[in-house]
């Protein structure tokens, strides 16, 4: 429910029924009601004579009744001096005549009528805009007896739309301002002279006139009488807005309870004090729009009291004005002004507005700071501006402004500014004159930027350019300068020399520079130039082929920068240099060919082939085409190469490459991967399997023809594998693997044939999958067993330790090497169960053999790096606790790479092992990237030198030196050394001389079963005087 004070603009029909029985309350006299209307109103006779004027009209015009009553309206409303000739009179006369003719209300166009007001003791003319409405009043015979002329002040709305400068101010949704507009508190209009009452006696006594007057009010309006605020009158505009048709005679609070909370106190205030009340802006909701959003309007509300004969408040006229458009326009204006302010601040632009006739100027804070003036003000005098202006520029500044003011020309000047600290700045300003409605200059508005840094940079650049020219010419670089405005290019003598011009040739060439660029390079050059001009890159750099004087093209490297721009940022001058890079490009081309093409055959090599295969696969995917990859391997090539020599082999490869190329299209790719292996990429296939086979047959036929390599013809054949995209593989890497399998299938099938990739070729992959599935069953059914290899003390020859190795004998698949199932165990997570089983077996054998030889005997167990990354409790420690917590004779072997992990998981677990009495050894040392510092940090007990170093000790002095160094450094850290893979007495001798502690390898014994190892342990250690230990489980 909405307030009865709400209304829509420009609705004039009344909904009052003069004969309604609901008018049981006392009615006011017309004079009191007429004066209470807040908008200016006149009552005219059909001949347009004024017979009544309300208080609002007399107050606004500062006239008396005697000034207007009895006069024709055209006598007091002459043409507005600011409007076009006769427009005011014409519009008013047209409207009044239309009312008399059509017998209906008429709204005139917005009119400008200025009002004289007194301010600070002086009379001032204020510019006002009005929206007048003329409405007829009928007598009992239906004839027009009078005309109501009412006007709404729309000055604020007009100004808001027209405003293009200044800063808007926000306002809250509701701004209450009692007595700000309308009649002053308790004011009454002066009593008209006696003649007035006689002339309008009939008018003031007829209630119908009051109804007609309400109908003529150009906004929604209601009239309430009595302290209980019952509705007496309601016009159509109010009814259309609120949707309430039957409110006459009803109290306000029953009709509109939703708004009574805030409006009833206002009504009580007006009735009690006899003072008008105004809300300048109130946001209220009127149902929903068609799109479902709330229909919100901003309204200016007014409650105006009118008085009875006893000078007490009889009733209240409630009116309003729709200012929604004005509020929204002001909001947009504020947003626009804020955006303009942010934009100018971001661009470091100052704005100004000069009033030359008043010798003052409004400066933005940014411009004030640019001029060294205090930025906390807005207005400055001319004297202040001239004082900071350089003395030599003052007269020019004033003349330029005066010329723009008088002629309307654009003002553009550079002015030097003197700062208090002695600095001098240069500002560039541009402005234009704005005129008032009379065409007279109103102000000179413009903007300014500080050019100081730019001018300083240009001066520095000119100096640097002069120095650079001397330096560049000295090292053979050519210099160019380009003026984009007139397309003039200047070349230095060295630049002309590079392009083949003589020194006496014209020093500049007025030409379109694109004509000097090779057509294939033009797009790239244009893009590089545009990116620099647009500020995307700091420097223009581009390599291209430039046209020389003789028409030939030469590779040049051109570099440059924009050194001057206009106010809009467009380049004014660009300078740079270029050098002849023809030799370098030839070298680059040669290097590129070496990197991408096979020297022997001229075909793409493996690198370029993989690149093209990847591109072709991507293109086939986009275009939904098929692609065939052929892998060709020459049969019997090795025999030819070995028997006839490498030169004959090379000749054979060149001929073979040529024959393969002749069998395919130019769009297909033939490449040599190396040796006698060739590949062919067949592009843009649809379902052309027959075509693929035809090409393979042609290749086989061509390669089976004899080759002339010497005295006698030589014959070879070829095996071809075929893989299709996307049938066999979805990626280029997968396609390569599949075609390789297909080629070997063709070779194994008898050679000199081709074979498609088939799913059967994935048998190895399936076997791998089966092995992974069988791993768990192997644990359950005890298919694993441990083998042991002795570790010998070099000083005594005794077995001090043993290394344990796991074996898997599958009942169907037979022996499966650890290298095949251990990676699968790590991948599947079964490595924990396998490792736990190995550890438990090692502990058992260690105790058994320690008891046998009556001395501690160690077994080393390998711990997979994967197990260290699992965040869970270690089962080895739990097993030891379950066995009674006795000290185990176990050494945990870890990989060298594990040392480099900084994870606390690794450190904590190794510390637990040490605390439990186990020792730690590093396996295969020397093959990773660790250092001795890691050994010290992790408290390592044993270092095992990888067999790759031991194997070559006798033949490679470098390996021997490395091995000796590792032994020496380990001993200095207190670490014992074990050498792996010892196979010869010579290796043993060298290790002994280097001081190595232990050795293991086939020289002493291959890995053997537990029973065999036990017999060997007893026989190799007579007297059972073993003092050390170590056995390890290797995967």
CA distance 585 to 15: 93
Q: How confident is the model over 934-968, as pLDDT tens digits?
A: 677 778 899 999 888 899 898 888 889 999 999 99
> Could you tell me if 403 and 542 lie in one domain?
no
CA distance 286 to 296: 6
pLDDT at 213: 65
CA distance 70 to 56: 18
Structure tokens at 242: 């609120």
For residue 364, is it within any domain? yes
For residue 764, is it within any domain? no
Boundaries of domain holding 389: 347-450
Structure tokens at 853: 């030889």
For residue 6, is it within any domain? no
- HEC secondary structure over 696-732: HHHHHHHHHCCEECCCCEECCEEEEEEEEECCCCCCH
Which residues, including other chains, have CB under 8 Å from residue 388's CB and lie 6 or more apart? Answer: 371, 372, 373, 417, 418, 419
pLDDT at 215: 62
Torsion sign across C-alpha atoms 918, 923, 926, 931:
negative
Domain boundary among 450, 482, 514: 450
> Could you tell me if 687 and 717 lie in one domain?
yes
Domain boundary among 292, 326, 360: 326
| Entry pTM | 0.34
pLDDT at 166: 38
Q: How confident is the model over 73-109, as pLDDT tens digits?
A: 888 876 554 444 446 777 888 889 988 988 877 878 7
> Could you tell me if 658 and 710 lie in one domain?
yes
For residue 3, is it within any domain? no
> Could you tell me if 907 and 831 lie in one domain?
yes
Per DSSP, what are the bridge partners of residue 815? Answer: 809
> Could you tell me if 229 and 107 lie in one domain?
yes
For residue 58, is it within any domain? yes
For residue 541, is it within any domain? yes
> Could you tell me if 679 and 826 lie in one domain?
no
Characterize the bridge pairing of strands 942-945 and 919-925.
Answer: parallel
Q: By the 8 A CB rule, do 785 and 1009 touch?
A: yes
- Domain with residue 626: its CATH number is 3.30.70.270
pLDDT at 509: 52
Element housing 55 (H / E): helix 55-61
pLDDT at 231: 77
Structure tokens at 67: 């000034």
> Could you tell me if 400 and 478 lie in one domain?
no
CA distance 968 to 962: 10
Per DSSP, what are the bridge partners of residue 576? Answer: 480, 560
> Could you tell me if 156 and 284 lie in one domain?
yes
- Domain with residue 382: its CATH number is 3.30.450.20
pLDDT at 420: 85
For residue 763, is it within any domain? no
For residue 780, is it within any domain? yes
> Could you tell me if 319 and 372 lie in one domain?
no
Domain boundary among 544, 563, 587: 587
Number of domains in the chain: 5
Q: By the 8 A CB rule, do 656 and 641 touch?
A: no
> Could you tell me if 67 and 191 lie in one domain?
yes
Segments of the chain with pLDDT less than 70? 1-33, 36, 78-87, 119, 140, 157-227, 308-309, 333, 336-347, 461, 464-476, 506-513, 687-688, 762-769, 870-871, 885-886, 900-903, 927-934, 1022-1035
pLDDT at 81: 45
> Could you tell me if 360 and 256 lie in one domain?
no
- Domain with residue 944: its CATH number is 3.20.20.450
Q: How far is CA 123 from CA 116, 126, 520, 1016, in A?
A: 6, 10, 79, 131
> Could you tell me if 930 and 805 lie in one domain?
yes
CA distance 365 to 289: 44
pLDDT at 10: 24
Structure tokens at 629: 């990859």
């Amino acid at each position: 429910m909405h307030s009865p004070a709400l209304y829509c603009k420009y609705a004039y029909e009344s909904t009052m029924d003069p004969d309604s029985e609901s008018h049981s309350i006392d009615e006011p006299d017309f004079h009191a009601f007429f004066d209470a209307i807040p908008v200016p109103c006149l009552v005219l006779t059909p001949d347009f004579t004024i017979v009544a004027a309300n208080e609002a009209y007399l107050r606004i015009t500062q006239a008396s009744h005697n000034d207007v009553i009895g006069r024709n309206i055209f006598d007091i409303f002459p043409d507005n001096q600011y409007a076009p000739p006769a427009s005011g009179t014409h519009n008013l006369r047209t409207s009044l005549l239309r009312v008399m003719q059509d017998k209906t209300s008429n709204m005139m166009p917005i009119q400008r009528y200025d009002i004289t007001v007194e301010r600070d003791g002086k009379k001032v003319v204020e510019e006002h805009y009005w929206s007048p409405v003329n409405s007829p009043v009928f007598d009992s015979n239906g004839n027009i007896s009078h005309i109501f002329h009412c006007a709404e002040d729309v000055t604020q709305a007009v100004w808001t739309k027209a405003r293009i400068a200044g800063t808007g101010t926000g306002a809250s949704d509701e701004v209450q301002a009692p007595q700000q507009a309308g009649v002053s508190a308790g004011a009454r209009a002066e009593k008209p002279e006696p003649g007035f009452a006689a002339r309008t006696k009939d008018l003031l006594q007829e209630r119908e006139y009051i109804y007609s007057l309400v109908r003529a009010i150009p906004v929604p309006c209601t009239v309430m009488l009595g302290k209980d605020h019952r509705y007496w009158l309601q016009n159509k505009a109010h009814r259309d807005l609120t949707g309430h048709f039957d409110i006459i005679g009803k109290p306000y609070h029953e009709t509109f309870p939703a708004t009574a909370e805030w409006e009833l106190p206002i009504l009580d205030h007006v009735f009690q004090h006899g003072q008008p009340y105004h809300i300048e802006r109130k946001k209220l909701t009127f149902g929903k729009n068609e799109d479902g959003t709330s229909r919100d309007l901003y309204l200016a509300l007014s409650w105006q009291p009118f008085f009875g004969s006893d000078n007490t408040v009889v009733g209240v006229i409630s009116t309003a004005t729709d200012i929604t458009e004005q509020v929204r326009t002001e909001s947009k204006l504020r947003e626009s002004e804020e955006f303009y302010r942010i934009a100018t601040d971001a661009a470091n632009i100052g704005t100004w507005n000069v009033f030359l006739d008043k010798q003052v100027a409004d400066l933005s804070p940014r411009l004030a700071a640019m001029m060294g003036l205090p930025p906390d003000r807005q207005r400055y005098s001319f004297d202040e501006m001239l004082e900071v202006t350089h003395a030599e520029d003052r007269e020019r500044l004033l003349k330029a402004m005066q010329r723009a003011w008088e002629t309307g020309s654009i003002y553009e000047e550079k002015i030097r500014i003197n700062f208090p600290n002695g600095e001098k700045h240069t500002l560039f300003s541009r402005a234009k004159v704005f005129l008032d409605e009379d065409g007279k200059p109103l102000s000179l508005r413009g903007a300014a930027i500080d050019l100081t840094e730019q001018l300083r940079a240009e001066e520095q650049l000119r100096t640097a350019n002069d120095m650079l020219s001397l330096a560049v010419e000295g090292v053979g670089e050519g210099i160019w300068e380009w003026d984009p405005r007139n397309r003039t290019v200047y070349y230095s003598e060295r630049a002309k020399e590079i392009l083949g011009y003589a020194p006496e040739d014209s020093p500049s060439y007025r030409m379109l520079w694109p004509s000097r660029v090779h057509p294939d390079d033009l797009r790239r050059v244009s893009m590089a130039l545009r990116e620099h001009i647009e500020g995307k890159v700091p420097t223009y750099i581009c390599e291209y082929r430039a046209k020389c004087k003789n028409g030939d093209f030469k590779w040049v490297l051109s570099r440059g920068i924009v050194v001057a721009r206009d106010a809009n940022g467009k380049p004014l001058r660009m300078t740079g240099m270029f050098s002849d890079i023809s030799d370098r490009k030839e070298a680059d081309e040669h290097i590129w060919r070496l990197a991408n093409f096979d020297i022997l055959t001229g075909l793409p090599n493996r690198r370029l082939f993989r690149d093209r295969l990847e591109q072709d696969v991507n293109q086939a995917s986009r275009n939904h085409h098929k692609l065939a990859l052929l892998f060709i391997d020459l049969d019997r090539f090795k025999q030819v190469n070995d028997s006839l020599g490498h030169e004959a082999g090379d000749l054979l490869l060149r001929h073979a490459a040529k024959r393969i190329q002749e069998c395919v299209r130019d769009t297909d790719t033939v490449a040599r991967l190396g040796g006698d292996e060739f590949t062919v990429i067949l592009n843009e296939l649809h379902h052309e399997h027959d075509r693929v086979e035809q090409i393979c047959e042609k290749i086989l036929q061509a390669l089976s023809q004899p080759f002339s390599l010497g005295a006698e013809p030589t014959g070879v054949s070829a095996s071809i594998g075929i893989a299709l995209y996307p049938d066999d593989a979805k990626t280029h890497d997968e396609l390569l693997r599949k075609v390789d399998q297909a080629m070997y299938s063709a070779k194994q099938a008898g050679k000199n044939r081709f074979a498609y990739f088939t799913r059967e070729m994935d048998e190895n992959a399936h076997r791998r999958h089966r092995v992974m599935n069988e791993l768990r069953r192997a644990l359950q059914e005890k298919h694993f067993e441990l083998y042991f290899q002795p570790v010998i003390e070099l000083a005594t020859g005794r077995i001090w330790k043993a290394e344990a190795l796991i074996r898997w004998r599958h009942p169907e698949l037979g022996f499966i090497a650890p290298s095949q199932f251990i990676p699968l165990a790590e991948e599947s997570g079964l490595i924990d169960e396998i490792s736990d089983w190995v550890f438990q077996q090692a502990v058992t054998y260690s105790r058994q053999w320690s008891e046998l030889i009556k001395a501690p005997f160690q077994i080393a167990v390998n711990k997979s790096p994967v197990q260290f990354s699992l965040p869970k409790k270690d089962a080895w420690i739990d097993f030891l606790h379950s066995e009674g917590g006795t000290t185990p004779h176990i050494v945990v072997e870890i990989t060298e790479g594990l040392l480099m992990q900084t994870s606390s998981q690794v450190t904590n677990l190794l510390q637990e092992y040490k605390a439990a009495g186990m020792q730690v050894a590093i396996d295969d040392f020397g093959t990773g990237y660790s250092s001795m510092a890691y050994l010290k940090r992790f408290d390592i007990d044993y270092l095992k030198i990888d067999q790759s170093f031991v194997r070559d000790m006798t033949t490679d002095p470098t390996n021997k030196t490395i091995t000796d160094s590792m032994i020496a450094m380990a001993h200095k850290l207190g670490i014992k050394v074990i050498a792996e893979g010892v196979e010869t007495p010579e290796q043993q001798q060298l290790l002994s001389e280097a001081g190595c502690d232990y050795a293991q390898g086939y020289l002493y014994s291959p890995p053997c079963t537990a029973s065999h190892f036990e017999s060997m342990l007893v026989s190799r250690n007579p007297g059972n005087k073993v003092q050390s230990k170590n056995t390890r489980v290797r995967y």
